[in-house]
Chains A and B, each alone.
Chain A
Amino acid sequence: EAQVTQNPRYLITVTGKKLTVTCSQNMNHEYMSWYRQDPGLGLRQIYYSMNVEVTDKGDVPEGYKVSRKEKRNFPLILESPSPNQTSLYFCASRGLRRDEQFFGPGTRLTVL
Chain B
Amino acid sequence: AQSVTQLGSHVSVSEGALVLLRCNYSSSVPPYLFWYVQYPNQGLQLLLKYTTGATLVKGINGFEAEFKKSETSFHLTKPSAHMSDAAEYFCAVKGYSTLTFGKGTMLLVSP
Contact = CB atoms under 8 A, between A and B. Distances in A.
Interface in A42-91: 42-45, 48, 50, 58, 90
B43 A104 contact: yes
A35 B44 CA distance: 12
A48 B46 CA distance: 19
A36 B9 CA distance: 18
Contacts of A90: 43-44
B101 A42 contact: yes
Contacts, number: 47
Contact of B102 (A42, A45, A48, A103): A42
Nearest to A43: B101
Nearest to A42: B103
Interface string A88-104: 00101000000111011
Contact of B32 (A31, A45, A58, A99): A99
A42 B45 CA distance: 15
Interface in B1-45: 6, 9, 32, 34, 36, 42-45
A47 to B, nearest CB: 10
Which of A40, A50, A103 has its CB near the most chain B CB atoms (within 10 A)?
A103
12 contacts: A33-B99, A42-B104, A43-B101, A44-B101, A58-B98, A90-B43, A92-B99, A99-B34, A103-B36, A105-B42, A105-B43, A106-B43
